[in-house]
A and B are shown apart, each in its own frame.
Chain A
Amino acid sequence: MLLSIDTSAGTSAALFDGETLLSSIRFDDPFGHAENIAKAIESVLQDAKASVAELSGVAVGIGPAPYTGLRVGIAAAKALAAPLKLDLFGVMVLDAIALTRQEERILVTTDAKRGELFVAGYAKGVRQFGPEVIHPSKVAEMGDYETVSVPADAEMVGAFAIWASNNGIDLKETSAIYLRSPDVTPSPGKRVSG
């Protein structure tokens, strides 16, 4: 069985047996990742009457996504997979969203905060560019695409991991995709005397 976890938007989990979705759950709160992550995982296992021992792999959304929440899912997935040495699959969430669409040319966008968007472009299901961070005003310049702006979730992430595995695509990279550096300016020091 494959356990899928995603904290790129809300907090969600899903359980797959082969290609069959057994159970899934989604918490849409964009701030409750640390609180909800275990409940999500426990709940999909309980709903399917399955246990961790039956897992062969864990798929996790690795972004791009708002960082704080994103990290909760990745941390949980790493720790969960370690004791049983389960295979860990890192799924770029824009790819997962794209897989659910039938349109020929799509621009998948998600909220990158700071007034920006994470984007990737796909033609006939193949990624043409991205993931990148852009200002919304640049969307028009990206080319002839239909814009798709839905959040990712564990069902999509799991489905993508299964599809990738069936198509010989390696998902071993599990580092978080940030697309920006922390960029805090080293400060010169405050003067006291006015």
Chain B
Amino acid sequence: MEIKVLAEADLAQVMDLERRLFENEAWLEQTMASEISSPHTHYIGAFDGKLLGYAGLKVSGPSYSSDVQTIGVEPELQGSGIGRKLMNELLVVARRRGSEEVFLEVKDGNDSAIGLYQSLGFERIDVRKRYYQPSGEDALVMQLKLRQPVVLGIESTCDETGVGIVRGNRLLANALHSSMDEHAKYGGVVPEVAARAHLEAISPTLDAALAEAGLAYKDIDAVAVANGPGLSGALMVGIGAAKGLALTLDKPIYAVNHLVGHVGADVLERGAVEVPTIALLVSGGHTSLLLVRDLLNDTQLLGETIDDAAGEAFDKVARVLGLPYPGGPQIDRVAADGNPKAIRFPRGLTLPKDMEKHKYNFSFSGLKTAVARHVEKLEDAAEEYSKADVAASFREAVIDVLLTKALWACEEYGVNRLLLGGGVVANARLREEAERRCQEAGIELRIPRFSLCTDNGAMIAALGAQLMMDGREPSGFGFGAESTLPVTVVQSA
């Protein structure tokens, strides 16, 4: 006997069994069909060649709960364990999807079913009078509490030391220490400065996270750490700390991919990973476009920068305009009064000749050079010019290219969801334009809150929790820092 997910093709067999089991309380075929195909449900059937039983679960991400919608087994086979197997499978799914509670209704008087549920840990919590119609029988409401893993995640890929704590898909703490101020005078991140800062910050940030969550070390079920991509010296501090922690707590460790973490951050906003989605991750160190069909199993890199990251381009152009680091907020400030259409700067890799090899890749080097040339020429000639216009036009060019390609991807892959992540998401113009374009194109835009978009530990913890809830083996202790870890490697061994 095997249990598998129900498909449209199974509908006829399901309805046959449904009617025989539930008679005048049976669902309509239309109802069953839409339940089976809904993205928020999980319907399974037990098969032995033919259908022996079926069950369905509805998952509500935001409320961290699931409901058993229905369960039915062939009359002559009831009591032979099929119902239990179906229920166990539903509970595995509920757990994996982050549910903290599972609810069901059962006829008061259906002792064998009630017995099964109780043996699985369900407890009665309520009675609904005359719930079943037309018989008028009462329903018992039963609840099962699921304990989701508490995972502590460590992030030290660049210049931010992050420690986050989650319980399943629920955010409990997100503590951060940034060395951005120390880096201002260098005009960019200096690996040695960042790494020193991480070592100083790791202990206080661990303490802050536990305090925010109101937890103690003994409450942690697993440790997650981003082991790449990023700066190796910086990564090594987080890895050292994570391994030390996992050893002393005697708990599993998960070495996870920082970029995939950015995509998974959204799970902490809505209690569920919404896939498929196109993800555009833009920061000082990364500019990547991903197609995510399944967060843990199917993430594809569609394109990335072939030279400068978008955030880096902002830093460089800010410098050209005589503005301090970091460039993003400075450009924004100066661009406020500028005309984005004043100068048409190049949009890299958008020409017909680029479509074959570079449709989803980004290049900001030419743009940065064009802006520098433009400004140098004016300054050499001692001509007056509007920094505001230059800043606004440059910013427009970056945003234009980022969003144009992101929406091309949505169209080409038939995915109508776009997720933004990374520190550049702080840019209000990017968000504003993203909203406008997505609305026009009928694309659902997802932007997690800023503290989950920049590098942070909570997203690392969340990804670790996803892996643990999915039943993945933890990582061994031999992994190291992988500064160019590919997006297809979600977890390192």
Contacts and interface: CB of A to CB of B under 8 A. Distances in A.
- Do these two chains really belong together in a complex? yes
Contacts of B478: 35-36, 38-39
Interface stretch (A79-87, A90-98, A142-150): A79-87
Nearest to B243: A38
Nearest to A175: B200
B433 interface: no
B233 A68 contact: yes
B481 A34 contact: yes
B195 A76 contact: no
Contacts of A41: 244, 247
B372 interface: yes
Interface of B is mostly: helix
A25 interface: no
B480 interface: yes
Interface stretch (A101-109, A132-140, A157-165, A182-190): A182-190
Given A52-B247, A79-B206, A184 B190 contact: yes
A30 to B, nearest CB: 13
A176 B377 CA distance: 48
Nearest to B481: A34
Contact of B199 (A71, A83, A182, A186): A71
Contacts of A36: 478
A191 interface: yes
Given A68-B236, A75-B202, A78-B203, A37 B192 contact: no
A71 B236 CA distance: 8
Contact of B244 (A71, A80, A182, A192): A80
B67 to A, nearest CB: 38
A74 B232 CA distance: 16
Contacts of A192: 369, 372-373, 376
- Residue with the highest number of chain B CB atoms closer than 10 Å, among A42, A52, A75, A83: A75
Nearest to A189: B319
Contacts of A190: 372
Q: Please classify how large the interface on chain A is, using the bins under 10, 10 to 19, 20 to 34, 35 or more.
A: 35 or more
Interface string B448-485: 00000000000000000000000000000111110000
Contact of A37 (B195, B203, B243): B243
B480 A34 contact: yes
Contact of B217 (A73, A83, A175, A191): A83
Contacts of A67: 192, 195-196, 233
B377 A37 contact: no
Per DSSP, chain A at the interface is: helix
Contacts of A68: 195, 232-233, 236
A161 B233 CA distance: 27
Given A32-B480, A38-B477, A80 B248 contact: yes
Nearest to B368: A192
A33 B193 contact: no
A77 B248 CA distance: 10
Given A39-B477, A76-B244, A52 B250 contact: yes
Given A52-B247, A189-B320, A78 B195 contact: no
B245 A184 contact: no
B202 A79 contact: yes
A72 B237 contact: yes
A67 B198 CA distance: 12
Nearest to A185: B186
A72 B247 contact: no
B240 A73 contact: yes
B338 interface: no
Interface in B236-267: 236-250
Contacts of A71: 195-196, 198-199, 233, 236-237, 240
Given A68-B195, A74-B199, A193 B376 contact: yes
B218 interface: yes
Q: Nearest 10 pairs between A and B by C-beta?
A: A75-B240, A79-B244, A83-B217, A76-B244, A38-B477, A80-B244, A72-B240, A38-B243, A79-B241, A35-B480
Interface of B: 185-187, 190, 192-193, 195-196, 198-200, 202-203, 206-207, 217-218, 232-233, 235-250, 319-320, 369, 372-373, 376-377, 380, 477-481
29 contacts: A34-B240, A38-B243, A38-B247, A39-B478, A41-B247, A42-B247, A52-B247, A52-B250, A67-B196, A71-B240, A72-B236, A75-B199, A76-B243, A78-B203, A78-B244, A79-B244, A82-B203, A82-B217, A176-B199, A182-B193, A182-B196, A187-B187, A190-B372, A191-B376, A192-B372, A192-B373, A193-B373, A193-B377, A193-B380
